[in-house]
A = this chain, B = another copy of it.
Amino acid sequence: MTTDPVSTVFAALADPTRRAILARLAAGEATVNELAAPFPVSVQAISKHLNVLERAGLIVRTREAQWRRCRLEPAPLRTLAEWVDQYRRLWEDRYDTLDDYLNDLKGKDDEPAQ
């Protein structure tokens, strides 16, 4: 299951710890220990998260002495952005064609806060 790239990237991003790791990496490359420092979990757990991120193609790891520098790889995110945006446009179109009609009927303006 979840062998397709899109699923893999979505699943990788569905974890707040991993997203925090990525956010941290946006500030620059970092080693595993550096990445693990701010989190209340073990270094091993972070190492596993990094495996997930690497398999999703969101980071690359380069070996440097006994350190593993982690670096962001924006390519999959670009793919994902396209995916999301394509569907978003498709769905909002749908919303307009079919639901505009309904919304006009009931004069609705109750946009859910979400």
A interface with B by C-beta (< 8 Å): 2, 4-7, 10-11, 13-16, 19, 22-23, 26-29, 57, 71-81, 84-85, 87-88, 90-92, 94-95, 98-99, 111-112, 114
Contacts and interface: CB of A to CB of B under 8 A. Distances in A.
A37 B7 CA distance: 22
Contact of A14 (B14, B85, B87, B114): B14
A74 B74 CA distance: 25
Interface class of chain A by DSSP: helix
Contact of A87 (B16, B22, B87): B22
A67 to B, nearest CB: 17
A92 B114 contact: no
Contacts of A23: 87
Contact of A75 (B6, B11, B112): B112
